[in-house]
Amino acid sequence: MRLLVSGGGTGGHIYPALALIERLKQVEPDTEVLYVGTTRGLENKIVPDAGIKLETMQMQGFKRSLSLDNFKTVYLFLKSVHHAKKIIRDFKPDVVLGTGGYVSGAVLYAAAKHHVPTVIHEQNSVVGVTNKFLSRYVDQIAIAFEAARSQFPAAKVTMVGNPRAQQVAAQTHSDFSWTEYGLKDEVPTLMIFGGSQGAPKINQTVVDAIPEFNKRDYQVLFATGQKRYEHVKEQLKDVKLGANVKVVPYIKDMPAKMPKVAALVSRAGATTIAEVTALGVPTILIPSPYVTANHQVKNAQALVRKNAGLMITEDRLDARSLLVQADKIMQNADLRAEMAAAAKKLGKPDAADHLIKVLHAAIDEHQ
């Protein structure tokens, strides 16, 4: 298969695509892939590091208020469509997959106009502007949350899950030891992680809660985010950390560590949801309020409704609310087991395989 993939800006659009590509190359080793992203997005590092050829184009989003920048956005979109048509002519893909971000709008639109098979994958429960626009042009639509189904033309939609789930589902066993962090393997561990850059409100809340976490009979591993680590260290300079609490800037290779996590505190991005449901990790979700259409709350609610997770909205987040929910999970092994089982029921451990079938279905429509 010759696959052209487009998605950019955030890891939530990139990592599912990389997981799909990894699986596709396992089952169809002769697959050739070209990734099209933006000039400024995270894909500029992540995609080449994964050994995948990348082409970029300049894009920007629409402003929600009247702005002269929107004229530039239209210009860049039309320019990118023209650029995308050239890429498509040169690469000659069998199918084009869009995983979100403004760049995928131009690429998928160009592919559809060229009568090339097209598929979009929507990772979130609330459909983004780009995928709503593309839904009228593409052949197939793959979703990760049932809540997204009603926001698309029904005949095109297939539930597949998030390919990232299949990638991490293999991490059912880990040789990792908590002793690497100076913690104990036999003690339940709560991991707190606000994203690679950290989340200021989560960080401040954990700093305020650490004197109480010091007294708990469970362990806490708190990742501040690389760029916020020094600030958190300064805030904690007069606070003695208990032997059961460790503060680090970042946690490398989280999927390898998550099978040993008793519970997780995190944002409610699509990739996180895919990982915790694939692995069956009880989670306290703190949705980011800084996302389109508040979609992380909707993502979190999908777990809360099935008793697979707890949620604290950021406006209600403080040391007390975090400690109450952490204690609720960490001091009740039976509850953790129930939540883990409920999370696994929501997981889609074969999501990448399902998405590959959708890609083939789009190709078959054009034959």
Instruction: With respect to residue 169, please indicate whether it lies within any of the assigned structural domains.
Output: no
Give the type of residue at 26: Q
Tokens of 156: 């095109």
Whether pLDDT at 85 is above 90: yes
Is residue 115 domain-shared with residue 241, that is, in the same domain? no
pLDDT of residue 63: 44
115 Rama class: left (phi>0) / alpha (psi -120 to 50) / beta: left
Whether pLDDT at 315 is above 70: yes
Is residue 354 domain-shared with residue 332, that is, in the same domain? no
Tell me the binding residues: 10-12, 124, 196, 251, 296
- b/e string for 72-83 if b means 16 or more Cβ within 10 A? ebeebbeebbeb
- In whole numbers, what is the pLDDT of the chain averaged over residues? 91
**DSSP structure string for 245-299:** EEEES--TTHHHHGGG-SEEEE---HHHHHHHHHHT--EEE---SSSGGGHHHHH
Is residue 146 domain-shared with residue 212, that is, in the same domain? no
Is residue 275 domain-shared with residue 189, that is, in the same domain? yes
**Residues 72, 74, 78, 79, Cα dihedral to 10°:** 10
pLDDT of residue 129: 85
- Determine the Cα–Cα distance for residues 264 and 191; give it in Å rounded to an integer: 5
Is residue 192 domain-shared with residue 245, that is, in the same domain? yes
Is residue 306 domain-shared with residue 358, that is, in the same domain? no
Q: Which tops the pLDDT comparison, 161 or 129?
A: 161
Whether pLDDT at 74 is above 80: no
Q: Which helix (H) or strand (E) holds 222?
A: strand 219-223
Is residue 187 domain-shared with residue 233, that is, in the same domain? yes
Is residue 341 domain-shared with residue 354, that is, in the same domain? no
Is residue 353 domain-shared with residue 342, that is, in the same domain? no
Q: How many domains does the chain have?
A: 2
Instruction: With respect to residue 248, please indicate whether it lies within any of the assigned structural domains.
Output: yes
Instruction: With respect to residue 173, please indicate whether it lies within any of the assigned structural domains.
Output: no
CATH number at residue 73: 3.40.50.2000
- Determine the Cα–Cα distance for residues 87 and 97; give it in Å rounded to an integer: 14
Segments forming the whole domain that contains residue 300: 178-346
257 Rama class: left (phi>0) / alpha (psi -120 to 50) / beta: alpha
* Whole-number percent of the chain with pLDDT over 90: 76
Residue 350's SS3 state is: coil
Tell me the binding residues for UDP-N-acetyl-alpha-D-glucosamine: 10-12, 124, 196, 251, 296
Whether pLDDT at 16 is above 90: yes
Instruction: With respect to residue 172, please indicate whether it lies within any of the assigned structural domains.
Output: no
**Residues 154, 159, 161, 167, Cα dihedral to 10°:** -120
Tokens of 101: 């971000």
